[in-house]
């Protein structure tokens, strides 16, 4: 993740631009291409992957929303790399990872088994209906980088209405996704910034994801159903990342802090640098980390 003059220049021009890009839905893939793309994404999210530092950041932000004994639903869990990070930090909560892709759920089960995490189960299902679950079942609903996979604004609205339905009164939410950038050049910069260390298929999927992102206004409109207790945050200068977060439900205890420090220390020096940079981008909009893991 670059932090140099080139990125600053792109972000300033992005901030000043008055243009808007249309949303471009992700392309339909053949079964073979889909499996290859899912594999590249799964590898990028592993402990030594390019996304590991970002996953740890979100795991730290989510953890104060989860209390011992809680049921937590992850919408669009994918290969469960992010979900495993959160579950490791909150071993006394029970997590359900939902995804519409059977192939992704198989990867999720492999990730859970490889990491030896016992407090996660996976369920096939559609996040726009959550028909598998009764009203008010979950204490927390989370979703990380999955909303842009939805077909359109109607599907986004349906997904958040379904999330509100299955959430207990007073429950918490943590939703994060890309925000749609205004310039194609900025999208390409983010995609190509680390192309030398990320799989080609991941790079291609990354660009498709940025193009398919909803705008900040579209995301904000859809999340109104969740009530006034959810605050929006975006990365500085440009909404590369948009986060909607409820207020904390518990203070981080020693067990959580010690577990987070262990995960942070396992990151490489470059991953730790990426973690700190990402945290600064969001702190500029008022989203501080609940605690520092270093």
Residue 31 has pLDDT above 80, yes or no: no
Structurally, how many domains does the chain consist of?
1
Query: How does pLDDT run across 182-239, given as a tens digit for each residue?
Result: 999 999 998 888 777 777 788 889 999 999 999 999 999 999 999 999 999 999 999 9
pLDDT digits (tens, 9 = 90+) for 251-274: 999 999 999 999 999 999 999 999
Q: Is residue 294 part of a domain?
A: no
Q: What is the pLDDT of residue 2?
A: 55
Section 98-109 average pLDDT: 95
Contact (CB, 8 A) for 142 and 97: no
Tally helices (H) and strands (E) across the chain: 11, 7
Contact between 46 and 79 (Cβ < 8 Å): no
- Contact, 129 vs 158, CB < 8 A? yes
Cβ atoms of 229 and 249 within 8 Å: the answer is no
d(CA 209, CA 168): 31
Evaluated on CA atoms 36, 42, 203, 15, the torsion sign reads positive
Residues 6+ positions from 118 with CB-CB distance below 8 Å: none
The answer to whether 23 touches 214, Cβ cutoff 8 Å, is yes
Whether residue 180 is contained in a domain is answered as: yes
User: Which residues are within 8 A (CB) of 253 and not within 5 positions of it... i.e. 6 or more apart?
Assistant: none
Give the span between the Cα atoms of 109 and 42, in whole angstroms: 12
Please give the residue range of the domain that contains residue 52.
Answer: 5-283
In a domain, 249, yes or no: yes
Query: How far, in Å, CA of 218 to CA of 185, rounded?
Result: 22
Average predicted confidence (pLDDT) for the chain:
93
Per-residue model confidence (pLDDT) at position 33: 58
Quick one: pLDDT at residue 37? 72
Q: What is the CATH number for 223?
A: 3.40.50.150
- What three-state secondary structure class fits 175? strand
Q: Does any domain span residue 290?
A: no
Q: Is residue 176 in a domain? A: yes
Report pTM: 0.94
Residues 6+ apart with CB under 8 A from 84: 111, 112, 115, 117, 120
Phi, psi of 125 (to 5 degrees): 175, 170
Q: Which residue has the higher pLDDT, 184 or 42?
A: 184
Task: Quote the pLDDT of residue 23.
Answer: 97
Helix 216-223 vs helix 153-166: angle between axes, to the nearest 10 degrees? 30
- When mean pLDDT is compared across 25-34, 96-105, 133-142, the lowest value belongs to 25-34
Instruction: Let me know if residue 251 belongs to a domain.
Output: yes
DSSP 213: P
CA distances (Å), origin 27, targets 23, 45, 204, 211, 274: 12, 22, 11, 11, 29
Per cent of the chain over pLDDT 70 is 96
What is the C-alpha R_g of the chain? 18
The pLDDT confidence band at residue 137, using thresholds 50, 70 and 90, is very high
User: Is residue 145 assigned to a domain?
Assistant: yes
Contacts of 168 (CB under 8 A, 6+ apart): 136, 137, 138, 139
Q: Is residue 189 part of a domain?
A: yes
């Amino acid at each position: 993740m670059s932090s140099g003059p080139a990125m600053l220049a792109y972000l300033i021009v992005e901030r000043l631009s008055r243009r808007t890009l249309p949303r471009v839905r992700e392309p339909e893939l053949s079964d073979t291409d889909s499996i290859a793309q899912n594999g590249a994404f799964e590898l990028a999210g592993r402990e030594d992957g390019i996304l590991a530092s970002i996953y740890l950041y979100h795991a730290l932000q989510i953890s104060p929303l989860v209390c011992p004994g809680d049921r937590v639903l992850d919408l669009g869990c994918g290969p469960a790399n992010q979900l495993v990070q959160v579950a490791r930090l909150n071993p006394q909560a029970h997590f359900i990872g939902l995804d519409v892709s059977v192939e992704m759920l198989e990867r999720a089960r492999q990730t859970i088994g490889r990491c030896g995490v016992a407090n996660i189960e996976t369920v096939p299902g559609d996040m726009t209906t959550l028909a598998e679950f009764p009203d008010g079942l979950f204490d927390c609903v989370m979703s990380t980088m999955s909303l842009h996979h939805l077909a359109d604004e109607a599907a986004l609205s349906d997904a958040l209405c379904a999330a509100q339905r299955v959430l207990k009164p007073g429950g918490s939410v943590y939703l994060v996704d890309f925000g749609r950038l205004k310039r194609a050049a900025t999208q390409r910069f983010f995609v190509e910034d680390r192309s030398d260390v990320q799989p080609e298929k991941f790079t291609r999927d990354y660009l498709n994801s940025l193009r398919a992102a909803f705008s900040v206004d579209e995301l904000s409109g859809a999340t109104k159903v969740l009530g006034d207790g959810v605050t929006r945050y975006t990365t500085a200068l440009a909404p590369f990342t948009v986060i909607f977060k409820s207020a904390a439900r518990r203070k981080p205890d020693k067990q959580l802090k010690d577990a987070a420090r262990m995960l942070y220390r396992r990151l490489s020096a470059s991953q730790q640098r990426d973690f700190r940079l990402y945290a600064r981008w969001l702190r500029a909009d008022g989203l501080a980390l609940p605690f520092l893991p270093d």
